[in-house]
Structure 1
Amino acid sequence: MSELLIVLLAGAAAGVLNAVGGGGKFVALPALVAVGLPPVTANASSTIALVPGAVVSASVYRRELTPVGGASTTALTTISMAGSGVGAGLMLALPAASFEAAVPWLLAFATLLLAFGRRLSRALSTALGRPVGMSARAVLIGQFFLGIYGGYFGGAVGIMMLAVWSVGLGLDAAVSNPMRVTQLAAIYLSATVLLLITSDALGSPLVLATMLVGAAAGGFGGAHLARRLPAWLLRGALLTTAAITTVLYFLRS
């Protein structure tokens, strides 16, 4: 019972983090390893378990979606799911440890972009004498690779999304947070379809179900909390979450 309580609380915390700023998998994955799941199984199980929380959060935000460049929500979601499917296949074929070493550095870079991306975008616009902006095709290509990373490992993929959109399009992190949550749900959902069929995540159904419940509750509560935060405070929460997640990944590695 104590192990299930740990899993439940970790799921709830992961759901809240993903709704507010990202990095929920950093909480979910170690919790599953701590209760005895092998690392590869825990990686697959954490992806599956976080689906309900991400979907619930996305439903809360459904009326607040703003376009990302010239890419429609439908096109962006479709490409996220396609990339995630490829990434999930790679996760099953390749050892996750082969990629984990690069994750802290990717996160550090993404955090810097998230902090200074809009200023960088404005500076480039001034220097070039024209607005800087990714084309719809560039947005979709970038999202496809983000989807691959999300399906393969997924740690803080939402933070990386915000970083790319901030520099490439000058989007405000608080304004684009609903789209980040929606794309996170698409990435997790696509990967889950493959992982349920091919991985052994269902070998511990009680543990998986417990984290599912926690993540759904956390995702619902976290999304409602994020909607009520002032834009400046939500930006601060997003950046703080990104910085803390980066530090924790470095410590973990």
Structure 2
Amino acid sequence: MSGPILPEAVWLLTGGAAFAAGVLNAIAGGGSFLTFPALVFAGVPPVSANATSAMAVSPGYLGSLLGFREELKALPRALLWREVSIAAVGGLIGAGLLLVTPSRVFSGLVPWLLLLATALFAAGPHMAQRNGNKGQPAWRLPGLMGVAIYGGYFNGGLGILLMALYTLTGETRLNTVNALKNLNSFVLSLLSVTAFAAAGVIVWSQAIWMMSLATAGGWAGARLAKRMPAQKVRWLVIAAGLTMSGVFFARLP
């Protein structure tokens, strides 16, 4: 068995994961599949790792928004305010649920949450085709509330679920899906991490270090997102989700 990770290796591991997460979140979501495991492997308890991971990737969403500002400007202002408000409320509810969940229970849920997010993302295009051109279904806003609660509770796979939601509800333009995903992810993450900070469960030294690198990664990823073929991005995210799910299932007692 290998020895404990040296402090220098911890900073390299978490910093590299944060930058890569910022890139991945800007492209298709799933960045917390990297930051959350990196923090757990560095020795941070699962609930604190989840809270710290959520704070680390949240500025990356803001960096990504700069790359999708034209897509957001093209959307109705009323739609944006309505969805942002729902995302904000859901994020706070989810954060509150996390803070009252025992660490052992949360650790057992992690691999299932990761697998669920990956499965929904993989099924998104097929289910969207079944939706056809029916426009926005009535369950879009309740669905957004559910995803926002999930995101406040467990940030891992949040972007994937948001992309699945928008794909399932008839949005066919990948760049618009990414813009909405980044906007709502930023809002709900901002409020949920505020709750985590107030509860004292964030590891601040790692959070600040990872925030700076995730922001840089988000800016770089937004530029890359418009150049990469959508199918390649999709397979990349699915592969990351399945890998991390397998790793955490293997860690279960």
> What is the TM-score with the length of structure 1 in the denominator?
0.85
**Cα gap change, 1:112/1:10 in structure 2, threshold over 3 Å: closer, same or farther?**
closer
Q: Is the CA contact (8 Å cut-off) linking 2:152 and 2:192 kept in structure 1?
A: yes
Q: In the alignment, is residue 9 of structure 1 matched against residue 10 of structure 2?
A: no
Q: Is the CA contact (8 Å cut-off) linking 2:23 and 2:220 kept in structure 1?
A: yes
Q: Secondary structure at the match of 1:63?
A: helix
Q: Which amino acid letter does the alignment assign opposite residue 188 of structure 2?
A: I
Q: Is the CA contact (8 Å cut-off) linking 2:60 and 2:218 kept in structure 1?
A: yes
- In the other structure, the counterpart of 2:5 is none
Q: In the alignment, is residue 150 of structure 1 matched against residue 145 of structure 2?
A: no
Any idea what the Cα deviations from partners look like across 1:106-129, whole Å, max 9, x if unmatched? 22431333231332222xx6xxxx
**Cα gap change, 1:3/1:102 in structure 2, threshold over 3 Å: closer, same or farther?**
closer
What's the CA shift for 1:40?
1.1
**Cα gap change, 1:2/1:246 in structure 2, threshold over 3 Å: closer, same or farther?**
closer
1:240 to 235, 238, 245: 235
Once residues 196 and 64 of structure 2 are traced to their aligned partners in structure 1, the CA distance between those partners, rounded to angstroms, is: 22
Q: Is the CA contact (8 Å cut-off) linking 1:118 and 1:172 kept in structure 2?
A: no
**Cα gap change, 1:36/1:61 in structure 2, threshold over 3 Å: closer, same or farther?**
same
Q: In the alignment, is residue 224 of structure 1 matched against residue 223 of structure 2?
A: yes
2:35 to 4, 17, 28: 28
> What is the TM-score with the length of structure 2 in the denominator?
0.85
**Cα gap change, 1:46/1:117 in structure 2, threshold over 3 Å: closer, same or farther?**
same
- % identical equivalent positions: 27
Gaps of 5+ in 1: 126-130
Once residues 247 and 45 of structure 1 are traced to their aligned partners in structure 2, the CA distance between those partners, rounded to angstroms, is: 22
- In the other structure, the counterpart of 1:90 is 97
Q: Which amino acid letter does the alignment assign opposite residue 115 of structure 1?
A: P
Q: What is the aligned length?
A: 237
Once residues 7 and 142 of structure 1 are traced to their aligned partners in structure 2, the CA distance between those partners, rounded to angstroms, is: 32
- In the other structure, the counterpart of 2:213 is 214
What's the CA shift for 1:73?
0.6
What's the CA shift for 1:98?
4.8
Once residues 184 and 92 of structure 1 are traced to their aligned partners in structure 2, the CA distance between those partners, rounded to angstroms, is: 19
- In the other structure, the counterpart of 1:107 is 117
Q: In the alignment, is residue 198 of structure 1 matched against residue 199 of structure 2?
A: yes
- In the other structure, the counterpart of 1:48 is 55
Any idea what the Cα deviations from partners look like across 1:35-90, whole Å, max 9, x if unmatched? 2211111111000111111111123212212549x970111011101101000010
Once residues 63 and 171 of structure 2 are traced to their aligned partners in structure 1, the CA distance between those partners, rounded to angstroms, is: 27
Once residues 16 and 140 of structure 2 are traced to their aligned partners in structure 1, the CA distance between those partners, rounded to angstroms, is: 36
Once residues 26 and 112 of structure 1 are traced to their aligned partners in structure 2, the CA distance between those partners, rounded to angstroms, is: 15
**Cα gap change, 1:102/1:150 in structure 2, threshold over 3 Å: closer, same or farther?**
same
Moved more, 171-180 or 38-47: 171-180
Once residues 200 and 144 of structure 1 are traced to their aligned partners in structure 2, the CA distance between those partners, rounded to angstroms, is: 24
Gaps of 5+ in 2: 1-7
Q: In the alignment, is residue 250 of structure 1 matched against residue 251 of structure 2?
A: no
**Cα gap change, 1:3/1:110 in structure 2, threshold over 3 Å: closer, same or farther?**
same
Q: Is the CA contact (8 Å cut-off) linking 1:91 and 1:152 kept in structure 2?
A: yes
Q: In the alignment, is residue 161 of structure 1 matched against residue 171 of structure 2?
A: no
1:120 to 130, 136, 142: 130
**Cα gap change, 1:250/1:179 in structure 2, threshold over 3 Å: closer, same or farther?**
same
- In the other structure, the counterpart of 1:38 is 45
Q: Is the CA contact (8 Å cut-off) linking 1:113 and 1:164 kept in structure 2?
A: no
Once residues 93 and 9 of structure 1 are traced to their aligned partners in structure 2, the CA distance between those partners, rounded to angstroms, is: 31
